[in-house]
Chain A
Amino acid sequence: MYDVVIIGAGVVGGMIARTLSKYDLQICILEKENDVAMGATKANSAIVHAGFDAHEGSLKARLNVRGSQMMETVCRELGVKYINNGSLVIGFDEDDRATIQALYQRGIENGVAQLRVVDKAALKQLEPNISDNAVCALVAPTGAIVCPYDLTIAAIGNAMDNGAELKCNFSVENIQKTENGYKVFSCNDCVESRFVINCAGLYSDKIAAMIGDDSICVHPRKGEYILLDKECGNLVSHTIFQTPSKMGKGILVSLTVDGNLLLGPTSVDIQDKENKNTSEEGFADILEKAQMSLQAIPGGKAITSFCGLRAVGNTGDFIITAPQKGFIHTAGIESPGLSASPAIAEYVTNMLKDNGLTLTEKAGYNPIRVSSHAFREASMEEKNRMIREEPAYGRIVCRCEGVTEGEILDAIRRNPKATDLDGVKRRTRAQMGRCQGGFCSPYIIELLAAQLQIPYECVTKFGGASTINIGKTKGGQLQ
Chain B
Amino acid sequence: MRDLVIIGGGPAGMSAAIAAYESGIRDILILERDAQLGGILQQCIHNGFGLHNFGEELTGPEYAWKYEKQVRQLGIERKLNTMVLDLTEDKVITATNSEEGIFQIQAKAVILAMGCRERSKGALNIAGSRPAGIFSAGTAQKFINMKGYLPGKNVVILGSGDIGLIMARRMTLEGAKVHAVCELMPYSGGLARNIAQCLDDFGIELKLSHTVVEIHGKDRVEGVTIAKVDENRKPIAATREYIPCDTLLLSVGLIPENELSKAANVNLCRTTNGAVVDQDRQTSVPGIFACGNVLHVHDLVDFVSQEAEIAGKAAAEYVNQVQEASANIPLTTDGKIRYTVPQVITKKKDVTVYFRVGDIYKNVKINVFDGEKLVLSRKRPKVAPGEMESITIKAEQLEAATQLHFALEVM
Residues of A within 8 Å of B2, CB to CB, are none
- Residues 156-189 of B, flagged 1 when their CB comes within 8 A of A and 0 if not, give 0000000000000000001100000000000000
* Given known contacts A387-B101, A456-B149, A438 and B219 CB-to-CB distance under 8 angstroms: no
Question: CB-CB < 8 A to B118: which residues of A?
Answer: 435, 438
In the complex, chain A residues 451-479 whose Cβ is within 8 Å of any chain B Cβ: 456-457, 460-462, 464-479
Contact of A395 among B97, B131, B219, B255 (CB under 8 A): B97
The answer to whether A434 has its CB under 8 Å from any CB of chain B is yes
B268 in the interface (beta carbon within 8 A): no
- Contact present for B85 and A402 (CB under 8 Å): yes
Whether A470 contacts B152 in the complex (CB less than 8 A), given A387-B101, A438-B117, comes out as yes
Stretch at the interface among A182-190, A300-308, A411-419: A300-308
Q: Which residue of A lies closest to B171 (CB)?
A: A473
Residues of B within 8 A of A306 (CB): 130
Please, what's the 1-or-0 string for B126-165, where 1 marks a CB less than 8 Å from any CB in chain A? 0111111101101100111111111111000000000000
User: How far, in whole Å, are A276 and B129 apart by their CA atoms in the complex?
Assistant: 6
Please indicate the chain A residues that have their CB under 8 angstroms from the CB of B175 in the complex.
Answer: 474
Distance between Cα atoms of A402 and B86 in the complex (Å):
11
B127 touches A467 (CB 8 A): no
Knowing A274-B218, A468-B151, A470-B153, say if A462 contacts B101 (CB, 8 Å): no
Stretch of A64-72, A92-100, A277-285 at the chain-chain interface: A277-285
CB-defined contacts of B55 to chain A, threshold 8 Å:
none
Query: Is there contact, CB below 8 Å, between A465 and B149?
Result: no
Please pick, from B122, B133, B138, B213, the residue contacting A304 in the complex, using a CB distance under 8 A: B122
Complex: how many Å from CA A277 to CA B133?
Answer: 16
A249 at the interface (CB under 8 A from B): no
Q: Which listed residue, B85, B120, B220, touches A438 by the CB 8 Å rule?
A: B120
Query: Do A441 and B218 contact each other (CB < 8 Å), given the known contacts A435-B118, A478-B147?
Result: no
Q: Let me know if B148 and A442 touch, CB within 8 A.
A: no
With a cutoff of 8 Å between Cβ atoms, the chain A residues found around residue B33 in the complex are 396, 399
- Residues of chain B within 8 A (CB-CB) of A393 are 98
Q: Is A387 a contact of B96 with CB atoms below 8 Å?
A: yes
B383 at the interface (CB under 8 A from A): no
Closest Cβ of chain B to A100, distance in Å, is: 33
Is the Cβ of A303 less than 8 Å from the Cβ of B122?
A: yes
Nearest-neighbour CB distance to chain B for A442, whole angstroms, equals: 5
Give the docked Cα–Cα distance between A184 and B99 (Å): 51
Residues of B within 8 A of A388 (CB): 101
Q: Which chain A residues lie closer than 8 Å to B100 at the CB level?
A: 394
Q: Check A394–B144 contact: CB distance below 8 A.
A: no
* Interface assignment of B232: CB less than 8 Å from any CB of chain A: no
Chain B interface extent, by class: 35 or more
Pairwise interchain contact B117-A442, C-beta atoms closer than 8 A:
no
Q: Could you tell me the dominant secondary structure of chain B's interface residues?
A: mixed
B68 within 8 A of A: no
Q: Which residues from B are CB-within-8-Å of A391?
A: 98-99
Q: Which of A303, A383, A396, A467 has the largest number of chain B CB atoms within 10 A? A: A396
A window 259-309: CB within 8 A of B: 274, 276-280, 282-283, 302-306
In the bound complex, residues from chain A placing their C-beta under 8 Å from that of B246 are 470
A466 and B219 contact, CB distance less than 8 A: yes
- Check B150 against A470 for contact (C-beta < 8 Å): yes
Decide yes or no whether B238 CB sits under 8 A from chain A.
no
Report the separation of the CA atoms of residues A384 and B102 in the bound assembly, to the nearest whole angstrom. Answer: 6
B332 is an interface residue with CB less than 8 A from chain A: no
A343 to B121, CA, bound (A): 38
How near does chain B come to A478, taking the closest CB pair, in angstroms?
Answer: 4
* Residues in B neighbouring A446, C-beta threshold 8 A: 147
How far apart are B159's CB and chain A's nearest CB, in angstroms?
13
Contact with A along B103-136 (1 / 0, CB 8 A): 0000000000000011011110101111111011
A363: Cβ under 8 A from any B Cβ? no
- Asked whether any CB of chain A lies closer than 8 Å to the CB of B83, the reply is yes
Q: Is the CB of A441 within 8 A of B139?
A: yes
Choose from B85, B143, B152 the contact partner of A442 (Cβ within 8 Å). B143
Interface contact B125-A438, CB-CB below 8 Å: no
Chain A residues, Cβ within 8 Å of B83: 395-396, 399
A238–B175 Cα distance when bound, in Å, is: 53
Q: How far does the Cβ of B217 sit from chain A's closest Cβ, in whole Å? A: 9
Q: Are B122 and A436 in contact (CB under 8 A)?
A: yes
Instruction: Mark A221-235 against chain B: 1 for CB-CB distance below 8 A, else 0.
Output: 000001100000000
Can you report 19 residue pairs joining A to B where beta carbons are below 8 Å apart? A278-B128, A280-B127, A283-B125, A304-B122, A305-B122, A391-B98, A393-B98, A394-B101, A399-B33, A402-B85, A435-B117, A435-B120, A436-B122, A438-B138, A442-B147, A465-B220, A470-B152, A473-B149, A479-B147
List A residues at the B interface (Cβ < 8 Å): 226-227, 274, 276-280, 282-283, 302-306, 380, 383-384, 387-388, 391-396, 399, 402, 434-439, 441-442, 446, 456-457, 460-462, 464-479
Closest 7 interchain pairs by CB?
A394-B98, A391-B98, A436-B120, A304-B122, A461-B132, A465-B219, A396-B83
Known: A391-B98, A460-B219, A465-B220. 9 other contacts (CB 8 A): A283-B127, A436-B121, A437-B139, A439-B117, A442-B139, A442-B142, A472-B149, A472-B150, A473-B149
